Amino acid sequence: MRFSRWEKRIIHAIYDTMYPSGASERLPEGIAGGDVAGFIDELADAWGWLPVATLRIAVVFVFFASFALAPSLKPFQWLPEAKRLRVLERLYASDVYVVRQMITMLKATAGFLYGAMVRPKIAPTRGPAEPQALIALQALRRAKTSNNTDPQTTERSA
């Protein structure tokens, strides 16, 4: 369930607004220099239909909200960066929990990509985090399956 080119352009604009170029001296490039379309394709392939549908709803919501929150007839991806930022800030400041969560989901997915882009610059000598996360996950699974000496489970069985 991949995203269309139209949706990818909106996602690119959202991500670029959240992680702009020149925001820091240490990390001068923004997310726009990354492969946003490729990342979104990989994300859509890796996730199930529900998270992808939720992300798609968030993208379409931001697109339509931009017409109401930025007094312009331009779609979100064509707005200047300041107006795009204002739209996202107003959505995140909403009293409606679901609206805030949609923006948080977009920020989190953008953070996944940006983190992968800047990690080599921040810690060039460190290896990828993935093997460590997998080792921790495997240890957790082993502990869960071999936890037969848990006092609660022995009391229930007695």
> pLDDT per residue over 50-61, tens digit each?
999 999 999 999
Q: How much is the pLDDT for 158?
A: 47
Q: Mind listing the pLDDT tens digit for each residue in 63-100?
A: 999 998 987 888 899 999 999 999 999 999 999 999 99
Q: How much is the pLDDT for 119?
A: 74
Query: In this model, does residue 129 exceed pLDDT 60?
Result: no
Percent of the chain residues topping a pLDDT of 70:
79
SS (H, E, C) 37-90: HHHHHHHHHHCCHHHHHHHHHHHHHHHHHHHHHCCCCCCHHHCCHHHHHHHHHH
Query: In this model, does residue 132 exceed pLDDT 60?
Result: no
